[in-house]
Amino acid sequence: MRNVIHTTMQILFPPRCGGCGARGVWICDACALDIRAYSESCFFCETRAPSTRVCAPCAKRFAIEAIAWPWRYNHEKTHKIIGDYKYKGLRGAAPALAKHLQQTIIQNLSKDDWHTLPIPIHKSKERERGFNQSYLIARELGLPLIGRALVRTVATPPQARSDSRKARFESIRDAFEIKRPQDIEGKAILLIDDVATTGATLSEAARLLKRHGARRIAAAVLAHG
What is the tens place of the pLDDT at every residue in 36-89? 999 889 999 999 988 899 999 999 999 999 999 999 999 999 999 999 999 998
Binning pLDDT at 50, 70 and 90, where does residue 169 land? Answer: confident
Q: What is the DSSP string of the chain?
A: -HHHHHHHHHHHS--B-TTT--BT-SS-HHHHHHTB----B-TTT-SB--TTSS-HHHHHHHS---EE-SEESSSHHHHHHHHHHHHS--GGGHHHHHHHHHHHHHHHS--S-EEEEEPP--HHHHHHHSS-HHHHHHTTSSS-B--SSEEE-S-PPPGGG-S-HHHHHHHHTT-EEES-GGGTTT-EEEEEEEEESSSHHHHHHHHHHHHTT-SEEEEEEEEE-
Binning pLDDT at 50, 70 and 90, where does residue 158 land? Answer: low
1 versus 112: the higher-pLDDT residue is 112
User: What's the pLDDT at 6?
Assistant: 46
205: pLDDT strictly greater than 80:
yes
In the predicted model, what is the mean pLDDT of the chain? 90
Average pLDDT over residues 10-17: 75
